[in-house]
Amino acid sequence: MKYPHWSRLLAAVLFAVVANLSWAQPPIDLNSATVEQLTALRGIGPSKAQAIVQYRTEHGAFTSIEQLLEVKGVGRSILTKNEGMLQLGQQSNAQ
């Protein structure tokens, strides 16, 4: 083959695309996510996830993603790390 480096480059690009697709997760709905689902977020462990669910139970559904900042232990950096991974679905008090 005249340009063997192109085939290696193409293979590397295809591998990167497929790898990213396999790790992609759908956004997590703050108004229905369980503790287990919330722990999939960056910077959210079991105790912060439980605090999010408890906040939702006590205050009702989240009306904005920014409202997550009102949960103890959740700061701006956690919102930034999870940008695009959060959504607000149906506003229910589901746990």
The ranges assigned to domains in the chain are 26-87
Angle at 51 between CA 39 and CA 37, to 5 degrees: 25
Q: For residue 73, how far is the Cα from the chain centroid?
A: 17
Fold of domain 26-87: DNA polymerase; domain 1 (1.10.150)
Neighbours of 91 (CB within 10 A): 15
Helix (H, G, I), strand (E, B) or coil at 37: helix
Note the pLDDT of residue 94. Answer: 44
d(CA 84, CA 80): 9
Note the pLDDT of residue 73. Answer: 94
Segment 67-85 shows an average pLDDT of: 95
Note the pLDDT of residue 93. Answer: 46
Note the pLDDT of residue 13. Answer: 66
Q: Is this model's pTM higher than 0.85 or not?
A: no
d(CA 14, CA 92): 41
d(CA 59, CA 74): 16
